[in-house]
Structure 1
């Protein structure tokens, strides 16, 4: 009798177009058996594919961008604090994300850290009073002298490298024996480093995440 009632209920539900999840009980069995029907939900492999894509995304470099480019931030910093821009770096984490830190050396040799907001507004300029050793000071002075009046200054170097991706950092580098601009860019999640000659503006890739 119980079997007839269950079968009748399932049949009525199927005719009504509903999805049925039921258990048929035997006369002498207390264990339930899943009923088999045409309305069966099949779990696809797409969830696994989504997880794989998420893992790939996490492996990529993510940059919280700024409303102004590196070149624009450098220009704003120099309007506020005239001198020679020797580096610029984009903050991409924490409360300062989207803010640029631009190092400017004035004509008297004083170095300032100029903070530029994502809207291009100068938030402040702070003199760097850290005293390093004589060797480092000498190297810094040599770099500043090489960059002062360079045909491709930090602003132009940033514009040149922008063709390769979003510029996130630029600074002077003399590891090769000659001062050049070292620029970091991000494009399609890949970080690359470039060298930009201060005299010709020639850009050369140094390395990439894909290497």
Structure 2
């Protein structure tokens, strides 16, 4: 009887040890599965967000017959100054309209709204006192630039439909940052202020 108990105990211990060893060696335990699941989920979420953004951009593009360059030109005819950004709205009642930010010589900022047919719907002064040194550096660089927001949009149009253009400072240099949509894929580009050369922006890869 004791002999049978000893054998049973040894067998159970061996099985338990083998199971533990299998978990430890195989890395197939709950923690490993959780880690793998988490990694897959993060990638999936990121891909879903990118796909959703691209879908919103496509919807906005279909809602607007006006290009980024045309929207900037219309905004500047209404409100003179330097266009520092233009963005195609992709949400709600404003989908298909353009928001163009214009800075006048005295530093005052205006948000000009341009419809999908090219009509200026209105302009209001931006009274938020939130400009910082980066904003001032960007504006100073734009005043001496050989390419403006309209020309940057035209240059990047060869890469797809432009949905956003704006001045951006990075690594001590200011350039135009342009977002495009083509074949359902959203991409970002840099356009040099001095030469107008277009290069892919890899910062968000």
Q: TM-score, normalised by structure 2?
A: 0.69
Q: State the 1:59 CA deviation.
A: 4.1
- The answer to which structure, 1 or 2, has the higher relative contact order (CA under 8 A, 6+ apart) is 2
Q: What aligned pairs does 1:31-46 form with structure 2 within 5 A after superposition? A: none
Equivalent position SS for 1:172: strand
- 1:148 corresponds in structure 2 to 143
Equivalent position SS for 1:101: strand
Aligned residues: 151
- 2:199 corresponds in structure 1 to 204
Question: In angstroms, what is the RMSD of aligned CA positions?
Answer: 2.0
- 2:82 corresponds in structure 1 to 84
Equivalent position SS for 1:109: coil
**Partners of 1:176 and 1:160 in 2: CA distance:** 22
Q: Can you list the C-alpha shifts for 1:52-88, whole angstroms capped at 9, x where unaligned?
A: xxxx9x9472222111000000000000000000000
- 1:70 corresponds in structure 2 to 68
- 1:194 corresponds in structure 2 to 189
Equivalent position SS for 1:174: strand
Contact 1:191 1:208 in 2 (8 A): no
Contact 1:74 1:154 in 2 (8 A): yes
**Partners of 1:149 and 1:122 in 2: CA distance:** 27
Q: Which residue of 174, 180, 186 corresponds with 1:185?
A: 180
- Structure 2, unmatched stretches of 5+, are 1-47
